[in-house]
Amino acid sequence: MGKIVVEKSPPLKGTVRISGAKNSALPILAASLLGTEDIVLEDVPNLKDVDVFCEVLSLLGADVEKYGGGKIKINSANMDKYETPYELMSKMRASFLVMGPLLTRLGKAKTSLPGGCAIGTRPIDLHLKGFKALGAEIDVDHGYVGAFGDKLKGDRIYLDFPSVGATENVMMAAVLAEGETTIDNAAMEPEIVDLANFLNKMGADISGAGTSSIRIRGVEKLGGATHSIIPDRIEAGTFMVASAITGGDIIIENVIPSHIKPAIAKLREIGCEIWENGDKIRVIGTADRKAVDIKTLPYPGFPTDMQAQFMSLMSVTEGTSVIIETVFENRFMHVDELKRMGANIKIDGRSAIVQGVNSLTSAPVKATDLRAGAALILAGLVADGKTTIDNIYHIDRGYDGIENKLSELGAKIYRIE
């Protein structure tokens, strides 16, 4: 497995284009199993997780063709398999999203318990609760989950927590169910809206996506569609922090500013200058930054997926910042790696107290999860010496050519095998 090397870099300057959203592409790939005609997806990011998901679709009997420029064509008309192998499912949690489409289209689905980043328990009980409410029988045995139901029936489903994955899985299961389904306390993320828009293009009848109550009226079948994946708001936020931490001046293209309001607000509070212009954001960093407090929350609150990147920024910002993580209970694994680079961070339960230091120093570190890897790259941009990052397969799962994009902005970063 390769490594990424980051050297202390000058202020980053230039323009960068954001790729399609990983967290939108994966559920939409899962939803393609519901269609009976050609589906063409555009602006799909070039990621390891996407490759794995396409392999899952192929093994289930779908025809998958990849073209250049982020274009994928899928036809699931002849899909006939309902069981997915452990080898693929263990690689990423999002693979569990095939359960809803398989259950509602074939009447049965069987898969191993999901893998992914070790950032918390992230139980699947909310997914299964939703399937049960629609009339499915659930069987959990020896690390596998089975769901069975010849004809699902709509119902009113309340999620105890606004889980993104559970909202997506239940929504996909409900589109072919008989009658009407309402999901209360649904997740409101932009990726939920993108999935609903895609399903509606295929012939589904979904309203309320983006609010806490989603209504799905079941239809007989879904057809095909052409759909472009929304921009990745977390990648956009990561490049915004890259400009802030290096005192740079970066124009970020292909972004929806309304999707990243909390990150924009916090960077302005820190002292950055930010201009919004259509699908572009310009971020100018400053050396005179102020410490801020952050609390992660479900959307539209501050995203947990930006917590690690902001911690790197706060590590070299004068003053004391408090970062409270409320979404995942094990999302401070990057703290020990940042401390190896000289950061002054103390953990107290779900809070991290960050005392800014004048500078960081390079060290061999490892990406403990996807966003932790991005945080270490950001820290490496301002650390003295060369920072070598291991376990970069986590980074490749969620960032499309991050070292190339940063290099074009002036960063001293490269990959070694």
What does the pLDDT look like over 162-212, one tens digit per residue? 999 999 999 999 999 999 999 999 999 999 999 999 999 999 999 999 999
Sheet with 364-366, strands from edge to edge, namely 364-366, 386-390, 3-7, 412-416
Active-site pick, 30, 99, 117, 376: 117
pLDDT at residue 327, rounded to an integer: 86
254 is in an annotated binding site: no
Tokens coding 153: 């029936």
Q: From the options 3.30.1360.230, 3.65.10.10, 3.40.50.11740, 3.30.460.80, give the CATH code of 22-219.
A: 3.65.10.10
Sheet with 180-184, strands from edge to edge, namely 156-158, 180-184, 213-217, 205-207
* The two domains 3-18+231-416 and 22-219 share their CATH topology (first three levels equal): yes
75 is in an annotated binding site: no
Q: Give the DSSP letter string of 245-264.
A: HHT-EEEEES--GGGGHHHH
Q: Tell me the pLDDT tens digit for each residue of 17-69.
A: 999 999 999 999 999 999 999 999 999 999 988 998 999 999 999 999 999 89
93 is in an annotated binding site: yes
Determine the 3-state secondary structure of 329 from DSSP.
coil
pLDDT (average), residues 130-158:
93
125 is in an annotated binding site: yes
Residue 89 has pLDDT above 80, yes or no: no
- What is the helix (H) or strand (E) element at residue 196, kind and residue range? helix 190-201
272 is catalytic: no
Residue 376 near residue 338 (C-beta atoms within 8 A): yes
327 is in an annotated binding site: yes
257 is in an annotated binding site: no
124 is in an annotated binding site: yes
Domain positions in the chain are 3-18+231-416, 22-219
Predicted TM-score (pTM) of the model is: 0.95
Q: Tell me the pLDDT tens digit for each residue of 363-391.
A: 999 999 999 999 999 999 999 999 999 99
Quick one: CATH architecture of 3-18+231-416? Alpha-beta prism (3.65)
- Smallest Cα–Cα separation from 262: which of 286, 279, 240? 240
pLDDT at residue 48, rounded to an integer: 87
pLDDT at residue 121, rounded to an integer: 45
